[in-house]
Structure 1
């Protein structure tokens, strides 16, 4: 399917945003707030360079996801976002030295198998048809004559 690269871009930017947010929060240390310091602490968090970059990357990821949703079925596109779990787990292992044990690897394998099955289902679907509206009717192409 021709929209897989856009879907994968969405997945990778989503995962990158998570990694940046984690780096930012690690650089800030544990959060402890009182009512008096909550606003100041919130600004410290949001304007931390890593957190800010992560939030900006989420915006890019969402814009990409909205583009994808305008082109393919939600039930096809959305499950691909689970691949972000896979990317985050592997990058967190290498960057943050987080645990990647047998249970997590098994879960990652299940996610990958499920995503492959969903991708296969999209190959034979109505990918060249116009998307359906909420009632299931195909949207009209007002610019062409039928």
Structure 2
């Protein structure tokens, strides 16, 4: 956690008393803000893949059939699920840093990039199908994100 805040301090070019970055400042979003957004999205997408990997294990699938406490214990002790939840937590912390720097209306559409990254990771790492219509939808999302980023 301390390293994360050190990372943020390195990226943060502003000093105390200066205003945070604004979306309509004429120069676009600072590189450091884009980097923080990318880190948050990557951590969130990683979390999704890890959670899916954990929930797909034979051990958890069998425990889910049995239900009850056995299922909860199997889920709570799965290394992939623990790492996935930790990744989500780290993503949330980085996202808070993003929100401290830019307008939420400009930052939040970037979260949609996670859809494209997670779909690609699911396809490449988990062998999930990626039909043409889904790809068209992802491209539409990416076009929207680009439009918001340039506004």
Query: Taking structure 1 as the reference length, what is the TM-score of the superposition?
Result: 0.77
- Name the structure with the higher helix share: 2
Counterpart in the other structure of 2:39: 9
Query: Taking structure 2 as the reference length, what is the TM-score of the superposition?
Result: 0.74
Residue 85 of structure 1 and its aligned partner are, at CA, apart by 0.6
Regions of 4+ moved over 6 Å:
none
Counterpart in the other structure of 1:113: 143
Of the three residues 51, 61, 65, the one matched with 1:29 is 61
Count of residues in Structure 1 that have an aligned counterpart in Structure 2? 118
Of the three residues 62, 76, 79, the one matched with 1:46 is 76
Residue 32 of structure 1 and its aligned partner are, at CA, apart by 2.8
Inter-partner Cα distance in structure 1 for 2:142 and 2:105:
16
The two structures, once aligned, show a CA RMSD in angstroms of 1.2
Residue 95 of structure 1 and its aligned partner are, at CA, apart by 1.0
Residue 79 of structure 1 and its aligned partner are, at CA, apart by 1.0
Of the three residues 88, 91, 106, the one matched with 2:121 is 91
Of the three residues 105, 118, 132, the one matched with 1:102 is 132
Counterpart in the other structure of 2:94: 64
Counterpart in the other structure of 2:12: none
Inter-partner Cα distance in structure 1 for 2:95 and 2:69:
31
1:76-87 superposed matches below 5 A: 76-87=106-117
Residue 46 of structure 1 and its aligned partner are, at CA, apart by 1.8
Larger Rg: 1
Cα 1:32–1:81 shift into 2, 3 Å: same
